[in-house]
């Protein structure tokens, strides 16, 4: 298989080729390393490329497989992770000057689990500084660019992961999601991004932004690939007391494509308001595709969703200010101005406001849970706008000018506040060639359900097969 074809194959397809010994882990890893060295100057998706270490891991994986010790579908697969996952002896910057030389003494639990599954770590990916932003414009190594148009943002804060995947610079990635930081870049770069249920995946060894809102999840080019990565990282971790002991199902077993009789809820309010026209049209067309595949659609009401931005901002800023208290005292000037401003604002929030935000959050969780008793999943757009230009601060939706930062997370934030699982899958492109994302939100610990629905949609369309010119 030619390198130009191999780099864009799915993780699942590559795993099959490796298992059959038709492609070696060494060959696949060399393709990724070569492409990063050749193309990432245009994208800036990597903070640290681990070329030599990755090749050594690939040679070890190849020998294991030749010796008959195949570990499973991630064995020999080159992956990369957002640069806030602790990697023992490998710098972990969180996209910041403050941690530019930080060498963790241990691996994050999810890194250990991926390595146990045989995955090869190719590098650490660009991100918005300390995960505090949706554009990926503020970073230790500079802005990351969208591979569909390098003058536009990839979204954030896991922007490097989305850009690298779309451009064929890795086969799978890990991101974190506090207000949409997996799903926003997934939508803007035309890939799959899954935020699991709060407590499904360990956050031990992941530099936090907001303890009660942070989630860890996979970013991939297909739904099957997301299921495979989630399988490897999900489950209880004694080192993370927020993880649940809920049974982890076989996620790929659920991917049959049969959604006959599935019930989908379309929110009456909030989610379909203030949308770019092309995004609204693409998402409605996607809903019709799901209906033709056998799903039943009905309206649901989620009026408390409109308070998600205010409640989420208060909670995340308060918690992040506490996390960064020491650095704000000792390294104040080393923050990017936009990131520092948010943490300083968090120091000014009163306890009573934080508690009110938590009460609103409880009402949102109750409301969404009630809706999901009637339906299997909620269907919404992921992001209200296509990828904005680098440096752009406002965008027009209809006759209204809106702030880009708050708009990007407007439709993703409710799933962080409730902790319910949500996935973004490609569902179209604008006339200008920019990707559009479809979001599915499910019941707690029902990742298998939203994966099945997303897979069924993916099988009916070809959006996920499109590739940027890299």
What are the catalytic residues?
Answer: 82, 157, 181
- The candidate with the shortest Cα–Cα distance to 18, out of 166, 118, 110, is 118
User: Which conformational region is residue 379 in: left (phi greater than 0), alpha (psi within -120 to 50 degrees), or beta?
Assistant: beta
3-state secondary structure of 436: strand
Residues 180 and 319: their CA atoms lie apart, in Å, by 17
Residues 386 and 35: their CA atoms lie apart, in Å, by 26
Strands (E), 274-421: 296-300, 377-381, 394-397, 400-403
Burial of 22 (0-12, 13-18, 19+ CB in 10 A): exposed
Tokens 């910057």 appear where?
Answer: 93
Residues 27 and 19: their CA atoms lie apart, in Å, by 13
User: Which conformational region is residue 7 in: left (phi greater than 0), alpha (psi within -120 to 50 degrees), or beta?
Assistant: alpha
Residues 82 and 131: their CA atoms lie apart, in Å, by 10
Residues 429 and 271: their CA atoms lie apart, in Å, by 19
Residues 414 and 152: their CA atoms lie apart, in Å, by 26
Angle among Cα 199, 90, 118 to the nearest 5 degrees reads 60
Contact in structure between 421 and 195 (CB atoms under 8 Å): yes
Beta bridge pairs of residue 174:
81, 218
- The candidate with the shortest Cα–Cα distance to 137, out of 179, 185, 182, is 185
């Amino acid at each position: 298989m030619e390198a130009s074809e191999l780099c864009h194959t799915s993780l699942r397809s590559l795993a099959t080729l490796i298992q059959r010994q038709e492609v070696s882990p060494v060959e696949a890893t060399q393709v990724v390393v070569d492409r990063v060295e050749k193309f990432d100057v245009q994208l800036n998706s990597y903070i640290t490329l681990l070329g030599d270490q990755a090749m050594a891991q690939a040679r070890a994986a190849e020998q294991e497989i030749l010796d008959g010790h195949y570990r499973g579908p991630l064995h020999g697969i080159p992956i990369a992770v957002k640069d806030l996952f602790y990697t023992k002896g490998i710098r972990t910057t969180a996209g910041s000057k403050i941690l530019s030389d930080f060498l963790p003494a241990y691996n994050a639990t999810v890194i250990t689990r991926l390595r146990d599954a045989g995955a090869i770590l190719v590098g650490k990916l660009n991100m918005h500084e300390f995960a505090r932003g949706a554009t990926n414009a503020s970073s230790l190594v500079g802005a990351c660019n969208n591979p569909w148009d390098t003058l536009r943002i990839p979204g954030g804060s896991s922007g490097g992961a989305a850009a690298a995947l779309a451009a064929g610079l890795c086969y799978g990635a890990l991101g974190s999601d506090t207000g949409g930081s997996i799903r926003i870049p997934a939508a803007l770069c035309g890939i799959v991004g899954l935020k699991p249920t709060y407590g499904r995946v360990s956050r031990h060894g992941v530099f936090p932004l907001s303890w009660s809102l942070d989630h860890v999840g996979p970013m991939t080019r297909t739904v099957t690939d997301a299921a495979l990565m989630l399988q490897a990282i999900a489950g209880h971790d004694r080192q993370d007391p927020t993880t649940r002991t809920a049974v982890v199902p076989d996620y790929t077993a659920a991917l049959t494509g049969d959604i006959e009789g599935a019930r989908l809820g379309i929110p009456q309010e909030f989610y379909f308001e203030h949308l770019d026209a092309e995004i609204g049209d693409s998402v409605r067309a996607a809903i019709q595709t799901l209906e033709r595949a056998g799903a039943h659609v009905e309206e649901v009401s989620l009026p408390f969703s409109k308070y998600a931005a205010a409640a989420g901002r208060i909670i995340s800023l308060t918690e992040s200010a506490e996390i960064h208290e020491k650095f704000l005292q000792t390294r104040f000037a080393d923050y990017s101005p936009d990131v520092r401003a948010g943490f300083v604002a968090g120091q000014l929030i009163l306890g009573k406001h934080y508690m009110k935000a938590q009460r609103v959050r409880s009402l949102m969780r109750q409301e969404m849970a009630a809706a999901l008793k009637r339906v299997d999943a909620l269907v919404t757009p992921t992001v209200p706008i296509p990828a904005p230009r680098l440096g752009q601060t406002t965008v027009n939706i209809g006759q209204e000018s809106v702030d880009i930062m708050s708009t990007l997370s407007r439709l993703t934030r409710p799933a962080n506040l409730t902790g319910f699982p949500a996935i973004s899958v490609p569902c179209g492109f604008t006339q200008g060639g920019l990707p559009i994302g479809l979001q599915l939100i499910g019941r707690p610990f029902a990742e298998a359900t939203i994966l099945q629905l997303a897979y069924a949609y993916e099988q009916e369309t070809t959006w996920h097969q499109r590739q940027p010119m890299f």
